[in-house]
Amino acid sequence: MTGGRTRTRHHLSVDTILQPRAGRPGPMGRPEEYQQVLDLCRQQRRTIAELAGTLHRPVTAVTVVVADLLDAKELTVYVDTAFENDRATPQLIQALVASLRREWPDAQNHLRHAG
């Protein structure tokens, strides 16, 4: 399912909410688990915990599959509420950080060496 991988470059939690990207059918011939995750997310938004429970798979394995689908731009992180009392919610900040890390995975290492 994951080729032995247990880590991803994304910081995802079990309560990360996922939804499919509009208009992205995806490549044919992908592993069955990848298609199952996409099919479930097309039915309704799902958390990583829900996906793992429904598929009877370890959370770590489902997280790796989700990260691959995020990299392939077939899934996106859903942010329920952007602001509460004029302040960003933890969900919004988590989604922003995940998106920035996806777009610039080397940024943190680059900043460490620049100083």
Which pLDDT tens digit goes with each residue over 22-76? 766 666 677 889 999 999 999 999 999 999 999 999 999 999 999 999 988 899 8
List Cβ<8 Å contacts ≥24 apart for 70-75. Answer: 70/10, 70/98, 70/102, 71/102, 72/26, 73/21, 73/24, 74/20, 74/21, 74/24, 74/26, 74/38, 75/18, 75/19, 75/20, 75/21, 75/37, 75/38, 75/41
Residue ranges covered by each domain of the chain: 17-114
pTM: 0.67
